Every structure is written in structure tokens, then in C-alpha cells.
Amino acid sequence: QVQLLESGPGLVKPSGTLSLTCAVSGDSISTDKWWSWVRQSPGKGLEWIGEIYHTGTTNYNPSLKSRVTISVDKSKTQFSLKLSSVTAADTAVYYCARDYGVYDLNVGYYYYMDVWGKGTTVTVSS
């Protein structure tokens, strides 16, 4: 059974850097999947932050791109999120998710987020 577990500080100071790790168990990072970070501000909807492929290729939400870095550590089967220059607006529950890929003859690869971590709450406050 594949499980994802987010970890990291629950409190970050304004202008600081938020750093989270997602530990992957029951699966290998080195296969045809993207590994994503998604967040949810209090009372709001889901916001995709970015993703990483096992090769290290990344895609980011354009609205966060200048502040986001996602990296992968295949030896530790985990991937990480860094978000710099945080403000109160970055207070949210942060989820990691597996974006599983399937090849279809008509459309090529399509992906879906089939496994999610339970989420970790990060508060930005002094």
C-alpha cells in the first residue's frame, strides 16, 4: 500500500522559507509518475503548487514559481518543497500527492492524483 507522509515545521516566520518533506513508502519514486505539492488555505479550495518527475524535471504554478523549489531524493524515496519569502497568505494545509501516469494510445500519457498524504498545517506568523 502506497503511503505519503508530509513533515516539517508547523510555524514559519514571515519572510522566511517554508520547508517540507514528503516521505514515500510502498512505491518507487523512479517510475512514470509525477510527485506533487498541493495546498489549501483556511476555508479555501485546493491550489496546486508544483510537481517533480523522477528525472528532476519540475513544473510550477506560475503564481508561485518565483518562490518555489521542489526537489527529489530518490535514495531516500522522498521529495521536498521549499517556498521562500513567505507571508501570512502562505498559511495553509500542505499536501503531497502521487500523480500516477497511464499511457493511452489516443492521448498519450494521462495522470491522476491517486494517493495523497494526510496533510500538514503550516502557519506563517511571527
Q: Which is nearer to another protein, 21 or 59 (CB)?
A: 59
Closest approach, Cβ 61 to another protein, in A, equals 7
Say how many CA atoms lie within 13 Å of 12 toward its Cβ: 25
Q: Does 73 bind another protein (CB under 8 A)?
A: no
- Sign of the Cα torsion 1, 103, 55, 72 reads negative
Q: Does 27 bind another protein (CB under 8 A)?
A: no
Closest approach, Cβ 58 to another protein, in A, equals 10
Q: Which is nearer to another protein, 79 or 95 (CB)?
A: 95
Q: What number of chain residues touch another protein (CB under 8 A)? A: 26
Rounded CA-CA distance 33/56 in Å is 12
CA 73 to chain centre: 13
Q: Does 76 bind another protein (CB under 8 A)?
A: no
Q: Does 2 bind another protein (CB under 8 A)?
A: no
DSSP per-residue codes, 34-75:
EEEEEEE-TT--EEEEEEEETTS-EEE-TTTGGGEEEEEEGG
Q: Does 67 bind another protein (CB under 8 A)?
A: no
All 3 cell numbers of residue 117?
Answer: 498524504
Contact positions vs another protein (CB under 8 A): 36, 38, 45-48, 51, 59, 61-62, 95, 99, 102, 104, 106-108, 110-114, 116-119
